[in-house]
Each structure stands twice: as C-alpha cells, then as structure tokens.
Amino acid sequence: MIKDSNWRPLPNYLTIKQSTIEGLGLFTTKALKEGTDLGITHVYDSRFHDNYLRLPLGAFVNHHEIPNCKAVFCEEDVALGKVKHIRIVVIKDIQKDAEITVKYVINKLDNPNWEHEYEITQ
C-alpha cells in the first residue's frame, strides 16, 4: 500500500462538469495562463485501442474548432524519463470556469451545428 502519495487523477485546478459540447467536459477552477502544461493525457502502448492508454486528464477533453489548448506529442517526461505520451498545453489565457478544449478529429458529432451552438452558449 502506498502511504505517501500526492498523485491525483486531475490537477487541483481542473474539474469535470456537464458540457455544452458533449456529455461531460473538463473545466478550470481558476484562470490559467498561456503555456500552462496541464499534464499527461495518454501514454503510448500498442496493446491498447488506438495505441494509447487514456489517463483521467484525457478522458473528458472535448473537441472545439477554436480550442484553448493543444495536444503535444512527446517522447520523454522530466519525471518519468523516456515514455512516449501526449500532454495538453494551454495555448491562450483561459478564464476561471471555462471548458478545456482541444482540436481533434476523433468522434465528430452528428450535429453539424454543434460548434455554432457551443459558441452561443459561451
């Protein structure tokens, strides 16, 4: 049993809430500055679907055509050493209570107006 661990499934400045994009989404609990590294979302392992094991941080990030974050593909991590992975980095300042979004092409929704509807609700 691990007695001394500071591991959390999400950074303490992120939470999961109902999304206007799709289902549940990842939201800020404080303002975030451009360049903030949110952490690892996926770890490469060819045994898993799409060759990646999705971590809690990557499970609730929704797609947006005008995202506030980007996925960065990496071969190494400062703390973990050589490990192929994907992490999320903030690409523009994000206000408190905003949804974290990344532009990706998997799981496009059937509703062609969903981007427009999301913009109106924000």
Res 94: pLDDT:
97
Res 119: pLDDT:
43
- Mean pLDDT for 37-48 is 91
Look at residues 46, 92, 27, 39 and name the one whose alpha carbon lies nearest to residue 66.
92
CA 60, CA 25: separation in Å to the nearest integer?
Answer: 5
CA 13, CA 95: separation in Å to the nearest integer?
Answer: 12
- Mean pLDDT for 66-90 is 91
Task: Please state which CATH number belongs to domain 14-121.
Answer: 2.170.270.10
φ and ψ at residue 55, rounded to 5 degrees: -95, 170
Quick check: pTM over 0.85? Answer: no
φ and ψ at residue 115, rounded to 5 degrees: -60, -45
Res 52: pLDDT:
86
Q: Over 90: is that where the pLDDT of 37 sits?
A: yes
Q: Over 90: is that where the pLDDT of 14 sits?
A: yes
